[in-house]
Amino acid sequence: MRATSGPRRWPASAVCAYPCGKTEVSAGYWCESLLIDGTANAGVRLEVDAAGRIARVQRGVAAEAADIRLGTVLPGFGNAHSHAFHRALRGQTQGDGGDFWLWRERMYRIATQLDPSRYQALATAVFAEMLVSGYTTVGEFHYVHHRPSGEPYTTEHAMELALAAAAREVGIRLVLLDTVYLQGGIGRELSPEQRGFGDGGAAGWLARWRSLRARLAGDELVTLGAALHSVRAVPPDAMREVLHGLPPEVPVHIHLSEQPQENEDCLAAYGLTPTGLLDSLGALLPRLSVVHATHATDDDRNLLGDAGVTVVMCPTTEADLGDGIGPALALASAGASIALGSDQNAVIDPFLEMRGLEMGERLAAQKRGRFAPAALLAAASSAGYAALGLGRHRLQPGDPCDLVEISTISMRTIGSVPGQLALTATASDVVRVVVGGRLVAECGQLVGGARPATLIADALARLST
């Protein structure tokens, strides 16, 4: 950024009127208004250490000469559940009717076209769109491991490293949730479209996971988590082996009760709901995040809440696929944490996920104000970070300096009090994004000048949707 004689200040609007900045860690940010735990604090200065973490928080102070000055700032958003390659279907399937299962067949056809080069290009574009929309972290639920035939690539971990390279290129934090996917349904072999997902068994997956973890060790932006695709795709013995083979600090995610058929199949095969099956395996622990839980029973909700698991809701996807309205408030009341994800990336907008969570509850209950705005912000930020094993994200000393500046003078936000921006803003109101103390995006483009629309156009041109 250009040196100035006083504090650096850019216009608090959604129109970019200044040159792109560099990506070195800034020593300090001064925020005109900073939302901490959902409450607006005026004149907050954040000192940042060399590792990109907050070293000191000062409230009610003036900016110092070298500070970068921001307007209204929120904690960076954590996207706790993403399938980057599903973005290729945006605008391709919405008019087809049908249900989740019909959509899945189209998704498999995209998966079979992916190779490391195409996947990196697509993921770079999707991660770029996430970043300029306010997501500072993404949990990528990744299961396209091998060639469509099931044969491994010549370069070990080629697909996983492609995702890591995409995250580094745009500057977003990535938690790679490397996923176990061993069968095509309960008691069924992988279909031809699914062969690239499998590792032969739990032992094969664990060996690959451990090798990948060593390969990614020490990466500044990319960390490795784990996922069990679902009770449909991983048999109980394999789930048990994987859970026992993973270090206890590693976050584990799983799709859970997204569709009634999943519940019915699990009951028929094991005499238990998917949640009950996980409970029987000792999997219900605070490190576990279950995705969707749309059709969780009352008993399931109590089990999940008592165990202190996180439930990752994906409102725009659950609506788009006709899955149903998940019992988010009931799960939260039972003791579960609620986080949010963009899932199929038909929509990439953390504000729309927050509103979708709240509006689903309002429609189900026919009452307003089900989740307070502060609770929505926590679901979109700190709960997502915790679910991805990244620790605390409340803009306190020791937390990552991951920030999102929001315009408060757009036609959507003007007149809003800061604490209610979760219910009025959209991704279009994101002005600047900071990850690890570095300015990485501003006014809809990456700091280096790349525009997500150009990146996605180039990536889609390499696929047949």
pLDDT in tens, 325-384: 999 999 999 999 999 999 999 999 999 999 999 999 999 999 999 999 999 999 999 999
Share of the chain above pLDDT 70, in %: 94
Give pLDDT, residue 15: 35
Mean pLDDT of 18-26: 55
Looking at residue 102, its pLDDT comes to 79
Cα angle vertex 257, ends 252, 258, to 5°?
100
pLDDT of residue 74: 98
The model carries a pTM of 0.94
Active-site entry in 178, 320, 343, 349: 343
- Give the position of tokens 């499998």: 198
Q: Which residues pair with 312 in a beta bridge?
A: 291, 339
Burial of 24 (0-12, 13-18, 19+ CB in 10 A): exposed
Q: 103: closest CA among 312, 327, 293, 318?
A: 318
- The confidence band for 1, taking pLDDT boundaries of 50, 70 and 90, is very low
CB atoms within 10 A of CB 119: 24
**465 falls in which pLDDT band (50, 70, 90)?**
low
Residue 105: its pLDDT value, please? Answer: 85
Average pLDDT of span 160-167: 98
Give the DSSP H/E element, type plus range, for residue 170. Answer: helix 158-170
Kindly indicate the confidence band of residue 92, based on its pLDDT and cuts at 50, 70 and 90: confident
Residues of the chain with pLDDT > 90, as a percent, come to 89
What average pLDDT is seen over the chain?
93
Which helix (H) or strand (E) covers residue 456, if one does? Answer: helix 452-460
314 half-sphere exposure, CB direction, 13 A CA radius = 29
* Burial status of residue 393 (CB atoms within 10 A of its CB: 0-12, 13-18, 19 or more): buried
pLDDT greater than 60 at residue 148 = yes
- The mean-pLDDT minimum among 13-17, 34-38, 440-444 falls in 13-17
pLDDT of residue 6: 39
Which listed residue (86, 229, 292, 295) is catalytic?
292
Domains of the chain in start order, with CATH, are 28-75+395-453 (2.30.40.10)
Task: For residue 169, give Cα distances in angstroms to 20, 23, 433.
Answer: 16, 12, 15
Whether 343 is catalytic is yes
Helix residue ranges, H only, 57-115: 100-111
| Predicted confidence (pLDDT) at residue 425 exceeds the cutoff of 60 | yes
* Confidence grade of residue 281 (pLDDT, cut at 50, 70, 90): very high
Are 71 and 33 in contact, with CB atoms under 8 Å apart? yes
| Helix residue ranges per DSSP H, 182-259 | 202-216, 236-245
Residue 393 has pLDDT above 90, yes or no: yes
The interaxial angle of helices 236-245 and 202-216, nearest 10 deg, is 30
